[in-house]
Amino acid sequence: MPVVRGKDIEVLFNASTIASRNLELAKEIAQRDYKDLLVVSVLKGSFIFAADLIRAMHDAGISPEVEFIMISSYGSGTTSGEVKMLRDIDNDVTDRDVLLVDDILESGKTLRFIRDLMLSRGARSVRNVVLLDKRMRRTSDINADHVGFDCPDYFVVGYGMDVAHAFRELPFVGVVKGDAV
């Protein structure tokens, strides 16, 4: 088990498993009939996933534009809170196909909020791709269009995801054993 910051981390999805899944996701996305695709990466958690996925999308023959939106829903704890936009995208989404990229779909509040916002601004379509889906936690009416992996009901870290700002740099997705921080 890797030890980081003095904690044992149990690996759930390793780097090569994630990399091959990203290629499959990109091929899945390439099947859709997108005309003017705008990828919107939901910061901070999705930054590594989005970076890898858009390069896999290039390999799959898709050339999207990329934007970033920053949402806070967790603060520094591990329980879901209110959704707040900390940074908006810069581009107009009118008549565009929007693909939201997030690390985890849990309650669904975050993606529901952003989807409704993009639709209210006149986006032609709004779909999402998430690395991990915690279906058992869903409270909002939204589903993932593309899912990397179904996620067990653990608080996970790594590959962009943090607990109290730590562990984003891990090249794998894992669970911190013992007290997380």
Helical (H) or strand (E) element with 142:
none
List the one residue from 29, 37, 48, 156 that touches ligand IMP (CB under 6 A).
Answer: 156
Residue of 8, 100, 25 lying closest to 62 (CA atoms): 25
Task: For the segment 106-125, give every residue that binds ligand IMP (CB under 6 A).
Answer: 106-110
Site membership for ligand IMP, residue 155 (CB under 6 A): yes
Return d(Cα 129, Cα 138) in angstroms, integer.
16
Phi, psi of 49 (to 5 degrees): -60, -50
Secondary structure, 3-state, 108-132: CHHHHHHHHHHHHCCCCEEEEEEEE
Site membership for ligand IMP, residue 105 (CB under 6 A): yes
Site membership for Mg ion, residue 45 (CB under 5 A): yes
Task: Closer to Mg ion by CB, 45 or 148: give it.
Answer: 45
Site membership for ligand IMP, residue 80 (CB under 6 A): yes
List residues near ligand IMP by CB under 6 A. Answer: 42, 45, 73-74, 80, 102-110, 155-156, 161
